[in-house]
């Protein structure tokens, strides 16, 4: 069940408990509160972050962050009035500048949402499209089925799996598929030595 507080003063938003940013999002002045992710969600999120850190971000090729406050450049001055919190964000070097430590203002290379039943992952797509995020990955928590949404002409198009069932990113050299047994199979494109099934324990 969502809790949306539609009529709230800016003073209340600015002075709410500092930990609130780890527990809710603000959508154009409306506070969207969600329950803390369960361990299955957190476990997949952690192992995916570590995989991407170790296989993609190494050597300065990128950065991978968990649960950042993401706003638009237009809203940066009062970012607490409009931000989302992706499970993960991926930045390549030309985008490092959007990181303001407390928040990010601008489009990451990829936003990752781990979909838990009843959450608002899909409702965030319009925000990410307006921000200009090239790709959004939505990975289902329970089945580990990955979906990649690629931005084209201001709208997201679903990337179809290839003949072997891999969903392939064009933003990052990564391919993913569900094992069908509750894990996410992932590898760097054309490098079978990087094949892993997440979470790996």
- Domain containing residue 48: CATH number: 3.90.1570.10
What does DSSP assign to residue 1?
-
Residue 72 lies in a domain: yes
Domain region containing 81: 38-198
Residue 88 lies in a domain: yes
Residue 8 lies in a domain: no
Residue 17 lies in a domain: no
Angle at 74 between CA 13 and CA 62, to 5 degrees: 95
Residue 193 lies in a domain: yes
* Beta strand 155-158 pairing with 167-168: unpaired
Residue 15 lies in a domain: no
Residue 6 lies in a domain: no
**Which residues 6+ apart lie within 8 Å of 175 measured at CB?**
166, 167, 168, 169, 186, 187, 188, 189
Single pTM value for the model? 0.86
User: Tens-of-pLDDT digits for all 201 residues of the chain?
Assistant: 345 544 455 565 555 544 554 568 888 888 887 767 788 999 999 999 999 999 999 988 899 999 999 999 999 999 999 999 999 999 999 999 999 999 999 999 999 999 999 899 999 999 999 999 999 999 999 999 999 999 999 999 999 999 999 999 999 999 999 999 999 999 999 899 999 999 987
The number of distinct structural domains making up the chain is: 1
């Amino acid at each position: 069940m969502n809790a949306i507080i539609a009529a709230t003063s800016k003073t209340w938003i600015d002075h709410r408990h500092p930990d609130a940013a780890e527990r809710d999002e603000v959508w154009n002045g409306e506070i969207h509160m969600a329950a803390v992710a369960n361990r299955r969600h957190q476990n997949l999120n952690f192992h995916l972050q570590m995989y991407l850190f170790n296989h993609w971000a190494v050597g300065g090729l990128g950065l991978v962050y968990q649960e950042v406050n993401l706003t638009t450049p237009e809203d940066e001055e009062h970012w607490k009035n409009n931000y989302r919190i992706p499970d993960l964000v991926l930045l390549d070097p030309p985008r490092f500048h959007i990181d303001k430590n407390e928040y990010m203002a601008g489009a990451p290379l990829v936003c990752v949402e781990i979909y838990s039943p009843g959450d608002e992952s899909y409702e965030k797509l319009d925000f990410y499209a307006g921000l200009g995020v090239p790709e959004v990955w939505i990975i289902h928590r329970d089945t580990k089925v990955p979906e990649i949404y690629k931005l084209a002409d201001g709208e997201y198009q679903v990337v179809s799996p290839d003949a072997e069932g891999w969903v392939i990113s064009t933003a990052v050299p990564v391919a993913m598929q569900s094992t069908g047994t509750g894990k996410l199979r992932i590898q760097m494109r054309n490098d079978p030595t990087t094949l892993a099934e997440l979470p790996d324990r």
